């Protein structure tokens, strides 16, 4: 072989040698387990977990280990079929533990729990799960005792639950503030028949107060159809006032058109516009307001602070509830405040309930029952009191409107407040001039 051939062979060998060196370096970075590898559990290649070393009741024996290696201490479970001890009774919650500590099983192996009856648990804990455990006889007695206590507790819980519900409803509606009052009185889509007795000239361009407005159906009808300058609806129930305010927006969105303020597409793109404008207006819905208020004052001294404010005051179907809650003195105070708050020549529209309807509602609370037994100021005495003692000039009996039930067919009366004397003289003077001219 010539020298050139030897040089070429050396170059080729060097190139292949470098490639082999790379492989050797790559393989050198990987860790290989040789036959001298010591398993942590003392196992072998055929048994890496050293399962063969586990003997029943004996400690583990390290197999195929070197002389210098030490055996590892591994705890053997007492029950090989349940190494995690999942069937032990102590797994249950302490509050639902059916077996006492004294009756606990002494044996290390715990038998599985046999579920005798399974009932779904509810939030009110109306029923309890009962389990039967294989053990001493005391466990069964403890389960039965707990079940009897749970039944007694459930009965007491149901009694207090329904008792509190009834009491809460009684206290909630003790002022006659029923949330479905108009649904009981009127049919769907029916107008209140009392509107036919209220003349338009009494309300138009006047200041009106509606006491006990409930959810505001009658108040909204007067505000829209009779065009008052302003009308205020008050009620003692804050929830009903909130519903009445929502009814303003609903009624406004259904029937009111905003012409000239916004394009017609705004309602479709951004929803209906029903907020009150900042500028004062006598047009609906800017002429109606609702407010939570108890109209009965605490004492007679506060009557001196009442000022003339309204031309018309409505008191429809509320005298019974004022009478039962505040007694004779409270109802008299109510009449005097209404008189003091009326403008001269103003009208007080009253719809009193008969005394026969008091007895049923007096059973709602103890306060109503006590006030009912002490009532001496009967509804038939209202007219004489309002004219002779309060100071109304006259009364007009409008009759009883037709209603869905006879209980709502109650007579409506209109009391007129006396005008000042100088106004009466001016009227007489004008009448004399008209007669002379004729």
Q: Is 4 among the domain residues?
A: no
DSSP 3-state assignment of 172? Answer: helix
In this structure, the chain runs to a length of 438
Q: If you average pLDDT over residues 201-205, what whole number do you get?
A: 96
Taking Cα atoms as reference points, which of 198, 209, 203 lies closest to residue 233? 209
For 379, the domain range is 181-428
Exposure of 352 in the CB half-sphere (CA atoms within 13 A): 19
The enclosing H or E element of 349 equals: strand 342-351
Q: Is 236 among the domain residues?
A: yes
- At 17-39, the pLDDT tens digits run 444 444 544 555 555 555 677 77
Between CA 83 and CA 1 the distance in angstroms is 77
- 352: pLDDT strictly greater than 90: yes
The CATH number assigned to the domain holding 235 equals: 3.40.50.150
Reported as a pLDDT band with limits 50, 70 and 90, residue 212 is: very high
- At 112-169, the pLDDT tens digits run 555 555 555 555 544 444 444 444 455 556 566 666 666 665 555 444 444 444 445 5
Of the ranges 47-61, 341-355, 390-404, which one carries the lowest mean pLDDT score? Answer: 47-61
Q: Is 419 among the domain residues?
A: yes
Runs of H (alpha helix) within 212-318: 217-225, 238-255, 265-270
* Cis check: omega of the bond before 285, within 30 degrees of 0: yes
The C-alpha angle with vertex 252 and arms to 250 and 254, in degrees rounded to 5, equals: 70
Q: Is 261 among the domain residues?
A: yes
Q: Is 97 among the domain residues?
A: no
Q: What does pTM read for this prediction?
A: 0.55
Q: What burial class does residue 421 get, using C-beta atoms within 10 Å of its C-beta: 0-12 exposed, 13-18 middle, 19+ buried?
A: exposed
Instruction: Say which residue, 161 or 11, is predicted with more confidence.
Output: 11
Between CA 344 and CA 8 the distance in angstroms is 133
Q: Is 142 among the domain residues?
A: no
Give the total number of structural domains in the chain: 1
Question: Beta strand pairing status for 207-211 and 230-235?
Answer: parallel
Task: Count Cβ neighbours within 10 Å for each residue of 48-65 and write b for 16 or more, e otherwise.
Answer: eebeebeeeeeebebeeb
- At 263-272, the pLDDT tens digits run 556 666 666 6
Between CA 347 and CA 418 the distance in angstroms is 10
Contacts of 216 (CB under 8 A, 6+ apart): 233, 243, 244, 245, 247, 248, 288, 290
The predicted pLDDT at position 52 comes to 77
Q: Is 277 among the domain residues?
A: yes
DSSP codes of every residue in 63-94: -S--TT--PPP-PPPS-TT-TT-TT-GGGS-G
Reported as a pLDDT band with limits 50, 70 and 90, residue 40 is: confident
Q: Is 132 among the domain residues?
A: no
Between CA 234 and CA 208 the distance in angstroms is 11
In eight-state DSSP terms, residue 132 is B
What are the CB-based long-range contacts (under 8 Å, 24+) for 136-141? 136/103, 138/99, 138/100, 138/102, 138/103, 139/98, 139/99, 139/103
Between CA 282 and CA 148 the distance in angstroms is 69
Query: What are 316's strand-pairing partners?
Result: 351
Strands (E), 15-61: none
The predicted pLDDT at position 57 comes to 47
């Amino acid at each position: 072989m010539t020298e050139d051939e030897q040089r070429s062979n050396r170059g080729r060998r060097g190139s292949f040698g470098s490639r082999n060196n790379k492989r050797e370096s790559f393989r050198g970075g990987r860790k290989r387990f040789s036959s001298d590898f010591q398993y942590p559990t003392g196992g072998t290649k055929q048994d890496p977990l050293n399962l063969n070393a586990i003997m029943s009741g004996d400690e583990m024996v390290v197999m195929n280990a070197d002389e210098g290696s030490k055996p590892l201490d591994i705890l053997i479970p007492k029950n090989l079929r349940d190494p995690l001890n999942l069937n032990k009774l102590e797994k249950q919650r302490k509050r639902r533990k059916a077996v006492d500590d004294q009756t606990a099983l002494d044996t290390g192996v715990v038998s599985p729990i046999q579920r005798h009856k399974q009932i779904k648990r509810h939030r009110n804990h109306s029923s309890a799960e009962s389990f039967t455990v294989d053990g001493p006889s005391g466990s069964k007695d403890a389960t039965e005792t707990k079940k009897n206590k749970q039944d007694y507790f459930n009965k007491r819980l149901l009694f207090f639950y329904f008792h509190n519900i009834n009491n809460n409803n009684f206290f909630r509606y003790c002022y006659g503030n029923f949330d479905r009052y108009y649904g009981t009185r009127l049919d769907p889509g029916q107008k209140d028949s009392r509107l036919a007795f209220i003349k338009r000239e009494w309300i138009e361009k006047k200041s009106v107060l509606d006491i006990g407005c409930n959810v505001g159906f009658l108040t909204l009808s007067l505000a829209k159809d009779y065009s008052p300058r302003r009308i205020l609806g008050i009620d003692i129930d804050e929830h009903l006032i909130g519903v009445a305010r929502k009814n303003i927006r609903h009624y406004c969105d259904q029937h009111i058109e905003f012409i000239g303020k916004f394009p017609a597409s705004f309602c479709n793109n951004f929803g209906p516009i029903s907020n009150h404008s900042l500028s004062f207006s006598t047009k609906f819905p800017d002429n109606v307001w609702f407010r939570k208020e108890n109209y009965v004052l605490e004492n007679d001294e506060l009557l001196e602070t009442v000022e003339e404010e309204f031309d018309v005051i409505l008191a429809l179907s509320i005298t019974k509830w004022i009478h039962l809650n505040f007694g004779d003195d409270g109802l008299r105070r109510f009449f005097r405040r209404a008189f003091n708050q009326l403008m001269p020549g103003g009208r007080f529209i009253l719809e009193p309930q008969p005394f026969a309807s008091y007895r049923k509602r007096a059973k709602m609370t103890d306060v109503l029952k006590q006030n009912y037994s002490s009532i001496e100021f009967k509804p038939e005495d209202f007219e004489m009191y309002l004219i002779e003692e309060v100071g109304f000039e006259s009364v007009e009996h409008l009759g009883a409107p037709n209603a869905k039930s006879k209980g709502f067919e109650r007579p409506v009366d209109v009391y007129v407040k006396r005008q000042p004397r100088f106004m009466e003289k001016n009227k007489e003077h004008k009448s004399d001039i008209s007669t002379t001219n004729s």
